[in-house]
Amino acid sequence: MSIGKKSEAVKVVVRCRPLNKKEEAPNQERIVEVDVRLGQVSVRNPKSSGSLLKSFTFDAVYDAGSKQNELYDYACKPLIDSVLLGFNGTIFAYGQTGTGKTYTMEGVPTDPERRGVIPNSFQHIFTRISRSQNQQYLVRVSYIEIYQEEIRDLLCKDNNKKLELKENPEISYVCVINPSRIEWKERCNS
């Protein structure tokens, strides 16, 4: 894994999942190459006769053999530590259906080796809180999904309720409106 700048406000981390059985079929060719050391993912156009690659560089890249805790320790643990100091933090998984977002985020919660970002974050937070003395904490968590331009609260009992997103250009916050609560989130200003 390559280490990017630690002072950046946003880190972009890419994880490439293993090939599935259909992709491993004899007539299928590998078109994605991962260079963990350089933090690069290169994609070859399968319709091109040559080996024309397009490369993209990220703060960190994880290949198909990467472990859940490797990704958590680099990409999430420092963010959780800053959240415990009172800063806001967001972990955002983005990608096409079937690319491994759910596995990376949830994993197998009962298996420490395969536990994902969410259960690792909860364990990290509540372990730190339990060791803390003379300090009070208020823990609030949002778990939302944006799919086909619809926002759903995955912690709501009826997660089929659609949420609205409202922005106020005069302040740097966005509002997620849920029938059960209204939450203001700090918006990233560029």
Does 28 belong to an annotated binding site? no
Measured CA to CA, the distance from residue 75 to residue 47 in angstroms comes to 34
Does 100 belong to an annotated binding site? yes
- The residues pairing with 57 across neighbouring beta strands, listed in sequence order, are 40
Does 95 belong to an annotated binding site? yes
Q: Which conformational region is residue 45 in: left (phi greater than 0), alpha (psi within -120 to 50 degrees), or beta? A: beta
Q: Return all residues near 40 (Cβ < 8 A) that are at least 6 apart.
A: 34, 55, 56, 57, 58, 61
Does 57 belong to an annotated binding site? no
Does 127 belong to an annotated binding site? no
167-170-175 Cα angle (round to 5): 25
Measured CA to CA, the distance from residue 67 to residue 116 in angstroms comes to 10
Does 4 belong to an annotated binding site? no
Does 148 belong to an annotated binding site? no
List residues forming the annotated binding site.
Answer: 95-102
List residues forming the annotated binding site for ATP.
Answer: 95-102
